[in-house]
Structure 1
Amino acid sequence: MSDSKSTPSNVFNVDTVRALVELMKQHDLSEVDLREGDQKISLKRGSQAPIYAAPAPMPVAPMPQAAAPAPAAAPAASGGGEATAASDSHLVAIKSPMVGTFYLRPKPESDPFVRVGDHVSEDTVVCIIEAMKVFNDIKAEISGKVVKILVKNEEPVEYGQPMFMVDPQG
């Protein structure tokens, strides 16, 4: 009898809390607040902060990589290799402004926002990134020709991760 009285008075039992934690993991939620009558529960996951803190050094890393292909090493190789490196040096990456899931299409049955060879302007939507069940339109922010799509549809992306390569001269 005491169990039947404690169940209604405590809506958020251990099983409910475990189910909420599992739901948070499945949907990558960082916080859940629930209220049932005069009872309230607030769950927060601390794993989200390191994800956002870790990518901060990543934008710094490409600068040394850009300096790494020394012109002295290219002439030692074949002339064709130098031409390839020079032809790619003017390409600009469209990078992910957030952590989330990359979508190349507005709907599964729709055509992609852009394809390789398409010309984009600064306000062209090139993809959607879903972050915490919010769908964010991502614009090119550069004019040019899309030469590479670096991420597959429905793959996760990190902050600062290159998603497209654009030739501004194209």
Structure 2
Amino acid sequence: MLKVQEIRELIKLIDESSIDEFTYETNGTKVSMKKNEGEVVTRPAVAETPVIEQPTPSVQPRQETPAPAMEEAPTETSAANWDKEIVSPMVGTFYESPSPEDAPYVKAGDSVKADSVVCIVEAMKLFNEIEAEVDGEIVERLVENGQLVEYGQPLFRVKSK
């Protein structure tokens, strides 16, 4: 089975190339990518397992839908007081905490280190911990808990140290 990081690398390579269609098969898993249709289809070699379809981030037009009201609404100071954004490395569902009963990993005003976990993005039933990748202070959260996020979509704004 391909790892999420391997799939991400394949998507990035195809996205940056002039290839319109790509098929890769290994260890009983087949990945087909077609830019012109805007989808990535992963099919296990065994026919009884369900097909997983995932939009290709580079060619899928982003559908703008009104975002629900944010509990951390942007202010004039927060808009001008950040210099880095933590972005989603994949298409998936944003979760602010490890479980619904737990407190969020971070909130506005929290200090983070580069290796601090700031959220989880679930993709293909895998829960991927997202790290800050920068030392600083969280200025603003840009997405709601449970919201679908796109590849490269900003999740947090950070004032780096």
> What range describes the TM-score normalised by the shorter chain of this pair?
0.5 to 0.7
Q: Shift of the alpha carbon at 1:32?
A: 5.2
**Matched residue type, 2:57:** Y
User: What secondary structure is seen at the aligned counterpart in 1 of 2:57?
Assistant: helix
Counterparts of 1:135 and 1:43 in 2: how far apart (Å)? 19
Q: Shift of the alpha carbon at 1:163?
A: 0.2
**Matched residue type, 1:129:** V
Higher share in strand: 2
Counterparts of 1:149 and 1:110 in 2: how far apart (Å)? 17
Pair 1:92-2:84 in alignment? yes
Pair 1:54-2:59 in alignment? yes
**Matched residue type, 2:121:** I
Residue-by-residue CA offset, 1:4-44 (whole Å, 9 max, x unaligned): xxxxxxxxxxxxxxxxxxxxxxxxx843554xxxxx45764
Q: State the partner residue of 1:101.
A: 93
Q: Shift of the alpha carbon at 1:89?
A: 6.7
Q: Shift of the alpha carbon at 1:111?
A: 0.6
**Matched residue type, 2:43:** E
Contact 1:91 1:165 in 2 (8 A): yes
How does the TM-score come out when normalised to structure 1? 0.54
- Percent identity of the aligned residues? 44
Higher share in helix: 1
User: What secondary structure is seen at the aligned counterpart in 1 of 2:56?
Assistant: helix
Which structure has the bigger radius of gyration?
1
How does the TM-score come out when normalised to structure 2? 0.57
Counterparts of 1:154 and 1:42 in 2: how far apart (Å)? 26
Match of 1:118 among 110, 123, 129: 110
Counterparts of 2:112 and 2:43 in 1: how far apart (Å)? 37
Counterparts of 1:107 and 1:41 in 2: how far apart (Å)? 31
CA RMSD of aligned residues (A): 3.0
Query: How many residues get paired?
Result: 108
**Matched residue type, 1:137:** E
Q: Which runs of 5+ in 1 are unaligned?
A: 1-28, 35-39, 59-83
Q: Shift of the alpha carbon at 1:90?
A: 4.6
Counterparts of 1:106 and 1:42 in 2: how far apart (Å)? 28
Counterparts of 1:43 and 1:111 in 2: how far apart (Å)? 34
Counterparts of 1:41 and 1:109 in 2: how far apart (Å)? 35
Does the C-alpha gap of structure 1 residues 42 and 103 become closer, same or farther in structure 2, counting only changes over 3 Å?
closer
Match of 2:129 among 133, 137, 150: 137
Q: Which runs of 5+ in 2 are unaligned?
A: 1-40, 63-75
Q: Shift of the alpha carbon at 1:124?
A: 0.2
Residues 156-167 of structure 1 aligned to structure 2 (within 5 Å)? 156-167=148-159
Residue-by-residue CA offset, 1:50-81 (whole Å, 9 max, x unaligned): 523326x99xxxxxxxxxxxxxxxxxxxxxxx
Counterparts of 2:144 and 2:127 in 1: how far apart (Å)? 17
